[in-house]
Amino acid sequence: MKAIYAFGLLVVIAFLGSRFLFKRKDFFSPLNYFFLSGLIYIFLGLLLGQKVLNVLSPDILKDFTPLVNLGLGWVGFLFGFQFEYRYLRKFPQKYIGLSFLQFLLVVCLGVAVLFFSLRYFFPSQPPYLLYIMAVSLSLLLSINSPSLLNFASSMIPVKGNYYYLARFLVSVSGFWGIAGLIIISSFWHYPFDERGVFIKGLILLLSSTFFAVLIGLLFHYLIARRASEHDLLVCLLGLVFFVSGAASYFNLPSLYICMIMGITFSNLTKIQEKFYPLLLSTEKPFYIIFLVLIGALWEISFNYKIALLIIFLLFLRVLGHSLPLKPLGRVLQFSFPLPAIFGLFFLSSGGIAVAFVVSLKMIYPLLLTDIFISVALLVTVVSEILGAWILKNSLIRIDSEE
């Protein structure tokens, strides 16, 4: 019965949050954005978790694991649905090149620096676990979110080259990070000393991708005839739940598989104008429930090592997204300069980063400790707060002065 009461409470929180707290305000402020981004619900979940009120106890959270998987799948589908070729081809190809090179440099810089730093912080841990943690945190640093830029768009009077480039980059960057997530989960599914690890991992990677494409084709076929909004939503929820459950069974990230499903479907369907309002109407309640459950699952820990790692990761994030911009702009022959300050547009990591962190936690519940979860979630929260403050006080001027 406690699970029923807890679920009812989640529904009430989702209704009230989407009705009142998740509404866009007419003025821009970092505090206002902190509520709008939804990250406040992580701390609400932490309050309801076993550390404080214990409303969402470990036993109840175990029963709610399918909801977490559904939330990850739903975030993945919504994220993948934006990758419509007819939309992406409107942007120059050099934008995609900049996105990938920026991702590659951030990850390489992060892995090179973090591995040695983690060995200093946690000398008793096996090297291969620290390497996994270094790669995971580096992938997290590469993920950006468009939510902050969307929120501040009304404050940028002249939306020129910098605005549209930033909008493209923050929308695409998460794809590379989530692709890295499936590579981790595919190739590190097996012991390192086992034979044929590369072949087995490649088979798992390709088969999971093929499965997601197949489900996207099936969804397109099922709604090929005219369908009501109610039928579309029921069919979509059923397929996302099915795909998320299958991914969970094989210990694969439902975030990635549902993202591929969303990409496949978005490039097949011709009813985007009917689908977007439907997805937006369900996005906020699902997202709120997902974030509350994440907060309840969070075994928060904090000490000087975690504080230093957070500062270090933020520094690497700024460094990796800022310093390479000028040389990359010259290599890709951009028609306008890419100043280092433009890289501060990418401090916000948003809900897609939270979903990435939770996916790793669910795939490696024993390997990636609660230290990783605390570092990753706190870096995400601090990035949102700093990102809103920096955008308010400096970066809005870039497009205004273009």
3-state secondary structure of 246: helix
Q: What does the alpha-carbon distance between residue 99 and residue 104 come to, in Å, rounded to a whole number? A: 9
The answer to whether 114 and 136 have CB atoms below 8 angstroms apart is no
Here the tokens at position 159 are 């939306």
Q: What is the pLDDT of residue 20?
A: 62
Query: Total domain count for the chain?
Result: 1
Q: Which of 377, 318, 370, 374 is nearest to 350 (CA)?
A: 377
Length of the chain (residues): 402
Structural domain boundaries enclosing 265: 2-22+29-400
- Per DSSP, what are the bridge partners of residue 56? 49
pTM to 2 decimals? 0.90
Q: What is the pLDDT of residue 49?
A: 87
Q: What is the pLDDT of residue 39?
A: 81
Q: Can you give the CATH number for the domain in which 37 is found?
A: 1.20.1530.10
Q: Could you read off the pLDDT tens digit of each residue along the chain, which spans 402 residues?
A: 677 778 788 878 887 777 665 555 555 666 777 777 778 889 889 888 888 888 888 888 888 888 888 889 999 998 998 888 888 888 888 999 999 999 999 999 999 999 888 888 888 888 878 888 899 999 999 998 888 887 777 777 677 788 888 889 988 989 999 999 998 888 776 555 566 677 878 888 899 999 999 999 988 887 776 667 667 777 888 888 899 988 888 888 999 999 999 999 888 887 776 776 777 667 778 888 888 889 888 888 788 888 999 999 999 999 999 999 999 999 998 988 888 888 888 888 888 899 999 888 887 765 557 788 889 999 988 888 888 777 766 666 665 555
Q: What is the pLDDT of residue 191?
A: 54
3-state secondary structure of 22: coil
Q: What does the alpha-carbon distance between residue 49 and residue 66 come to, in Å, rounded to a whole number? A: 17
The answer to whether 239 and 212 have CB atoms below 8 angstroms apart is no
